[in-house]
Amino acid sequence: MYKLPDLGYTFEALEPHIDAKTMEIHHDKHHAGYVDKLNAALEKYPNLQTKTIEELLNGIKDVPEDIRTAVQNNGGGHHNHTLFWESMKPGGTKEHHSKLADALKATFGSLDEFKAKMTETAVSRFGSGWAWLVQDGDTLEVYSTANQDSPIMEGKIPVLGLDVWEHAYYLKYQNRRPEYVEAWWQVVNWDVVAQRLNT
Ligand code: MN3
């Protein structure tokens, strides 16, 4: 059984950048729904229930066909959102990690250029999906996935993910996705991003 993780902070903790009502619905309804549907899909496959969520997503092609789409959508949704909550912190943290800064500079030119690329990727994602910073072997890459597809399904390691489904911002920002993305940068927990890069 997969479990809905706690946020680690209160619903209103990310105000004014991300509003409390959005956080409450996003965590308690959307994320909880992915977890419930994932568990329901795995009910008749006990051997899959003991896998970590990463193992499950990494082996998505081996998941029985009758539940593969359900696992892709809801398993992806579970992992993506868990990573998303952990990637934010009230007030954000400073980007002072030298190894992370060096890696971003080597790949994108500078931290600002990385942010611009991630922002552009998030804003231009058509419809529902995610913008990602991923590690693929020795290289870093920014790209996006549709729906709840996880980079893990493609053998990539998600380092930072930004949810650009409308449910992530519509109550406060309506159609103004660029404003939401700009606000989100204010609450990024770079400590966690740096840790992911090191593993
Ligand atoms: Mn979401």
Could you tell me the domains of the chain? 18-199 (3.55.40.20)
CA of 106 to the centre of ligand 1 (A): 31
CA of 98 to the centre of ligand 1 (A): 30
CA pair distance 19, 22, nearest whole angstrom: 6
Neighbouring residues of 134: CB distance < 8 A, sequence distance ≥ 6: 140, 141, 142, 143, 151, 156, 157, 158, 159
Helix or strand (DSSP H, E) at 141:
strand 139-146
Would you give per-residue pLDDT tens digits along the chain (199 residues)?
999 999 999 999 999 999 999 999 999 999 999 999 999 999 999 999 999 999 999 999 999 999 999 999 999 999 999 999 999 999 998 887 788 889 999 999 999 999 999 999 999 999 999 999 999 988 999 999 999 999 999 999 999 999 999 999 999 999 999 999 999 999 999 999 999 986 6
CA of 130 to the centre of ligand 1 (A): 9
User: Which residue do the tokens 């940068």 mark?
Assistant: 185
- CB count within 10 Å of CB 31 equals 21
**Which 8-state DSSP code applies to residue 43?**
T
